Amino acid sequence: MEFLAEHQLYIVMIIVVGIWLGLYVYLFRLDGRIRKLEKESRHES
């Protein structure tokens, strides 16, 4: 923690990495859901 208090830029880095990973997981899951719907839609027609 002392290291982070001295080097505050790393806190910004951790936050940005967190936002990016959150966005990435969201996009990944959205991709999976759309694929599932596409399969169902193809199956029905």
Partner 1 sequence: MILKGALGVLLTLVIIAAFALPITPQPQSWLEFPLIPGLEEKARIIFFHVPTAWLSVMAFVTSMVFGIRYLRKRDMMDDIRSSSAAGLGLLFCILATATGAIWAKFNWGSFWNWDPRETSIFVLLLIYGAYFSLRSAIEVEEKRATLSSVYSIIAAVTVPFFVFIMPRIMTGLHPGAKGDPDGAGPVIEFKMSPNMRVVFFASLIAFTLLFVWMFTLRVRAARLESHLQAKG
Binding site for partner 1 (CB under 8 A): 9-10, 12-13, 16-17, 20-21, 24, 27-28, 30-31, 34, 37-38, 41, 45
DSSP letters spanning 1-45: -HHHHH-THHHHHHHHHHHHHHHHHHHHHHHHHHHHHHHHHHHH-
Task: Give me the least distance between CB of 21 and partner 1, in Å please.
Answer: 7
Task: Give me the least distance between CB of 37 and partner 1, in Å please.
Answer: 5
In the chain the first and final C-alpha atoms are separated, in Å, by 58
Task: Give me the least distance between CB of 28 and partner 1, in Å please.
Answer: 7
